[in-house]
């Protein structure tokens, strides 16, 4: 945990674990969208998990994920380019399931795998349709 805190601070993200006075449970604040992007762009699995046997595979997996996220900001005017992205997503998902369990798949991952390319075929660019504002509202409403 100390290594994770130091890593986040080294890339300019203020973060720390703390013990809740009332529940006596270990807690932390959630990263914002821009902080998550900064984390994934800077992630160094080798430094964070030096004893992890499959750290090379993990590093490659999350670099591939960031490449997909970058690709999702592009315009897709041809079906061939959407199909190439779909192949990239399917490949990433197969690699993910080699390293993680199926219970680790989130609804967002399901949407990425099953629906994003359908939307790209229809709308050519989905970057304009993010729900980041709604997600932030949900975070605050849940917290309050």
Distance between CA atoms of residues 14 and 92, nearest Å: 30
Q: What is the pLDDT of residues 119-140, one digit of tens each?
A: 999 988 887 776 666 777 777 7
pTM: 0.74
Q: What is the pLDDT of residues 84-102, one digit of tens each?
A: 999 999 999 999 999 999 9
């Amino acid at each position: 945990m100390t290594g994770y805190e130091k890593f986040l601070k080294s890339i300019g993200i203020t973060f720390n674990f703390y013990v809740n006075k009332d529940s006596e449970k270990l807690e932390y604040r959630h990263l914002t969208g821009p902080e998550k992007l900064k984390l994934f762009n800077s992630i160094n699995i080798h430094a964070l998990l030096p004893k992890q046997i499959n750290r090379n595979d993990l590093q490659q997996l999350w670099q591939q994920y960031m490449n997909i996220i970058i690709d999702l900001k592009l315009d897709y005017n041809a079906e061939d380019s959407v199909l190439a992205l779909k192949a990239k997503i399917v490949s990433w998902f197969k690699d993910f399931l080699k390293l993680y369990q199926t219970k680790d798949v989130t609804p967002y991952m399901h949407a990425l795998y099953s629906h994003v390319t359908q939307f790209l075929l229809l709308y050519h660019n989905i970057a304009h349709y993010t729900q980041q504002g709604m997600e932030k509202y949900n975070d605050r409403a849940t917290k309050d």
